[in-house]
């Protein structure tokens, strides 16, 4: 059931605007300072958990949207509806929230405008910037998103470092705020009063991922992954940012059960997704990590027809749905780390008969899980992607693990002039790349599980074939990491 009530105020808005969660426990206030700087703050059960935090942007080639702004309108709405997941932690999801949209404008002769849309749920809040089509701002190159989060300095924080070479693969740290410089989201904290917060983002589409830069005591600012030319985000025409999210709960377990991130994503765009079948699998993978075999043909090729049959037999006997095969395609014998142009995604090594393996897997009632390691060469992969997915569709593969093994900032992009540049794993280019992969796979009824991914922001609701991601420091480090993964991680 959906209940929506909308009220709008036109002209200048003099008073601060507040929206509360349906249960009244969370309140978000939006206002401007005397200098015309927009800000927001958040209270939970009467306690200010996010202090006054600035909002705005700086651009290349045009004035900032940072101060001298006026609030020109406010609109409100409420929603309470239930939607159904095709798979996941629960079948029915409730989306109950109150919404406030505040419009800001510059005092220029030709004003530039944007709105801040805030949604307050019982389990937290989300807000995003929305820029309409406007002659005074036909395009934008963002060089600084000023979004701040003023958080308690004496809280306990759980976090991993951001903007470093090893992507998301760092040990989680438990510290006070003063030990943090740049952190990936989600960053989680517990206040002195026991409130639990987690800062993240939802619906990361055509935008750069947000880390948090600890700029001064208790003040964290959005830190977006840049393009190779230093610009953070490039936009033309109307656009929206991802939702900046703050999950809020009385305890840690309630953060885990939060549905906020999914509720801030758009509904399923793929239609019938009954073909998406999450499940347990085994794989020709671990034996390479412990050096019992190799991805390449020497010294001992793991992805052979005979060896893969053994795995399929094991999976069929013990109730596993699938078998992952890594190292089957041409390219693994070369120096491929950060040099993925050596890979051919449609040609198998001579000792791997992909058509026969597909037939044998079907005979045994087991799914063959494909593997596309790009070595960070995203543009090279895109040039072969359709043919590669067509091959997998023909042999019966319904899930593909992709990979982007390269240091942070080492993703290959070929620009429109044929020039090679290098981008971050979580920049705007890769946000778009991952979505293109997911859409191309969906056309063949194939699900995607990326390794070295861009972080999860709930897009599995919109594209349910995006079934998983492998991005944290995990099991493979138990094969060769020094030391192996400790329990506290």
Q: How many residues does the chain have?
A: 489
**Inter-CA distances, 291 with 299, 301, 479, 484, Å:** 10, 11, 9, 16
- CA gyration radius, the chain: 24
- Are 18 and 71 in contact by the 8 Å Cβ rule? The answer is no
CB atoms within 10 A of CB 319: 8
- Are 462 and 268 in contact by the 8 Å Cβ rule? The answer is yes
> At a CB cut-off of 8 Å and minimum separation 6, what does 300 contact?
292, 293, 294
Closest CA to 328 of 293, 307, 302: 302
> Distance (Å, rounded) from C-alpha 189 to C-alpha 477?
27
DSSP per position, 319-362: T--EEEE-S-BTTTTS--TT-GGG--SS-B-TT--HHHHHHHHH
Vertex 186 angle, CA 150 and 476, to 5°: 150
- Are 72 and 116 in contact by the 8 Å Cβ rule? The answer is no
Give the residue numbers annotated as catalytic, written as ranges.
476
> Distance (Å, rounded) from C-alpha 222 to C-alpha 163?
12
Q: Cα torsion for 254, 464, 78, 116, to the nearest 10°?
A: 90
Closest CA to 425 of 243, 231, 227, 230: 227
């Amino acid at each position: 059931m959906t209940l929506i009530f909308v009220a709008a105020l036109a002209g200048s808005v003099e008073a601060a605007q507040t929206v509360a969660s349906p249960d009244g426990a969370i309140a978000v206030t939006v206002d401007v300072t005397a200098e015309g700087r927009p800000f927001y703050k958040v209270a939970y059960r009467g306690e200010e958990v996010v202090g006054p935090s600035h909002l705005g942007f700086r651009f290349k080639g045009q004035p900032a949207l940072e101060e001298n702004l006026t609030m020109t309108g406010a609109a409100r709405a409420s929603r309470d509806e239930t939607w159904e997941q095709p798979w996941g932690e629960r079948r029915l999801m409730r989306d109950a929230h109150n919404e406030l949209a505040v419009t800001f404008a510059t005092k220029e002769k030709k004003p530039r405008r944007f709105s801040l849309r805030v949604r307050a749920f019982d389990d937290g809040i989300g807000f995003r910037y929305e820029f309409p089509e406007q002659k005074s701002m036909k395009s934008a190159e963002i060089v600084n998103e000023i979004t701040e989060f003023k958080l308690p300095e004496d809280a306990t924080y759980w976090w991993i470092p951001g903007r470093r070479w090893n992507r998301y693969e760092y040990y989680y740290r438990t510290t006070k705020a003063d030990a943090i410089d740049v952190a990936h989201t989600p960053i989680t904290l517990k206040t002195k009063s026991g409130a639990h917060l987690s800062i993240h983002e939802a619906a990361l589409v055509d935008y750069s991922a947000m880390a948090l830069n600890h700029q001064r005591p208790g003040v964290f600012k959005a830190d977006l992954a840049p393009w190779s030319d230093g610009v953070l985000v490039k936009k033309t025409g109307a656009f929206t940012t991802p939702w900046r999210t703050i999950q809020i709960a009385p305890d840690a377990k309630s953060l885990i059960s939060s549905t906020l991130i999914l509720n801030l994503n758009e509904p399923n765009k793929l239609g019938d997704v009954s073909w998406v079948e999450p499940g347990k699998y085994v794989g020709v993978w671990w034996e390479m990590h412990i050096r019992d075999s190799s991805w390449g043909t020497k010294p001992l090729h793991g992805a052979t027809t005979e060896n893969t049959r053994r795995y399929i037999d094991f999976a069929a006997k013990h109730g596993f749905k699938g078998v992952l095969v890594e190292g089957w395609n041409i390219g693994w014998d070369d120096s491929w780390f950060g040099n993925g142009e050596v890979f051919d995604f449609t040609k198998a090594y001579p000792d791997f008969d992909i058509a026969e393996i597909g037939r044998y897997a079907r005979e045994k009632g087991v799914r063959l899980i494909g593997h596309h390691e790009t070595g960070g060469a995203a543009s090279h992969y895109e040039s072969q992607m359709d043919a590669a997915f067509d091959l997998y569709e023909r042999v019966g593969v319904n899930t593909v693990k992709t990979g982007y093994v390269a240091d942070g900032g080492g993703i290959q992009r070929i620009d429109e002039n044929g020039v090679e540049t290098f981008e971050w794993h979580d920049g705007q280019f890769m946000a778009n790349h991952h979505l293109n992969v997911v859409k191309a796979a969906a056309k063949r009824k194939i699900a995607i599980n990326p390794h070295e991914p861009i972080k999860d922001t709930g897009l599995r609701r919109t594209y349910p074939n995006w079934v998983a991601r492998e991005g944290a420091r995990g099991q493979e480090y138990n094969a060769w990491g020094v030391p192996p993964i400790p329990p506290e991680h």
